[in-house]
Structure 1
């Protein structure tokens, strides 16, 4: 009788350390990412808790008949993170922090295989540990700005031997099933790629000898974005005119005008240029295609010709959404 009581006490003691439970997950967030990086660069995210937490056991390694199945099921018809305008960002779930163990949607994945559970030390020791999950986006998603989300139903189905006796006899087995939810999110921010060549008036002996420079600014902004493009007054503005400056502190007045006209291109209110005012492809941004804003730049001829020298100015181009 004493031996029986001792064995029973041992079993109860070991079973108390062999607890796994399905718990609330920790959300996985990719954070805020520009639309350009979403389209061109793989983004990574993770959750420290995919819904299963264990306190450890006496078993050091999982046996071939143990399993830790997790099934990540998205909403019906969902193929990725859904945004406010219906755009989708695709991504893949992984069982560890590499791309070696991808998890297929809606199909059971056994974390007991490939040594993942053992590597986590989930079943060794008494400190509660949770199963993490990792995510990587796929490139090529051309999407509008906004919050993108997807919520999985995570079904856990586990069965494992929590302790081994003499001759590797299983002292007890925990069988557990349960469902929790995992929310994944990414916030896309507006972004633009800008190509703006320098303006060069060349050389001339008098102010009337400088030719008009006709050029353009190419802007490619986030899909669906409405924006405006402004040019500031440069570093040496005076009396409403931009000016270039020489090393000897002499000035040569010039300006930049919208399209082929005589309306000065500035950086406040109506002096800016809206995306709908682009000379080529006017309208909202497309994410991949360029919108072209033509301009002409002229040296004012109603000024005195300054001393010979190299004249420079820097003008800041900005985009506002």
Structure 2
């Protein structure tokens, strides 16, 4: 009976996935939300039957993808499948929403890495080379505009600054992949929760954002990367690239923790929800001025258990 249920669920959900994939191919606007919706059939299946039958489902999905779509959409199926299975398996094992999110992020990272490798070896397109070429074209365009506005004297100095910024963006490609995976995992998991709640009358949901807390070990990781950056590291070396990426990712997570504390503080003091929301908007509008303050707040919250102290003070 269980085997029959697996086959039935697999056939239905894989048909849903293929239809969704074909709609994505032929309706351009749908492709904007497709990366977040396509993993949902895999999330539902894995939440019911765990990871072993799910990877068999993924293998069948890959075959049908080539048959009904094209070989060029294989990375899409791999990305959706691995990310969705990691999230669904975590739901099946009744892990917490944040643990599920972390596993989903890992799955999407693996899927994105496969997509980049597939692009390079099958399409013979090197992403780093393409990015560098795009950055060079951007720099040339900027210099041309400056010359048109009689700013040629500043062109050389500006070009150096632009080149440094572009090189930094290239070295930060790993953290960009990680951040993209974090966002894809979060949105896909949220949609998966909604689908499972509707289909199976479950009560899956993320806890309030104000309860979001990162482990204290992340503070030490961040500080170690800051210390490393004081050394004269070779900017073209692997160590510099690794430290820079870890610092950037840890800094983003610290900022997320800072926003979480702002929401917690507003809730604790019975303030309007508009206040923390405005803090997020203002930080996005003025990141150079406010982002470091929010990150520092996150570090203090984790390192000194700031919200626990506030809770005890209120008692």
Please give the range of the TM-score, normalised by the shorter of the 2 chains: under 0.3
Structure with the greater alpha carbon radius of gyration: 1
Under a length normalisation based on structure 2, what TM-score does the superposition of the two structures give?
0.20
More strand by share: 1
Which structure would you say has the larger RCO, counting Cα contacts within 8 Å and 6 or more residues apart? 1
Under a length normalisation based on structure 1, what TM-score does the superposition of the two structures give?
0.20
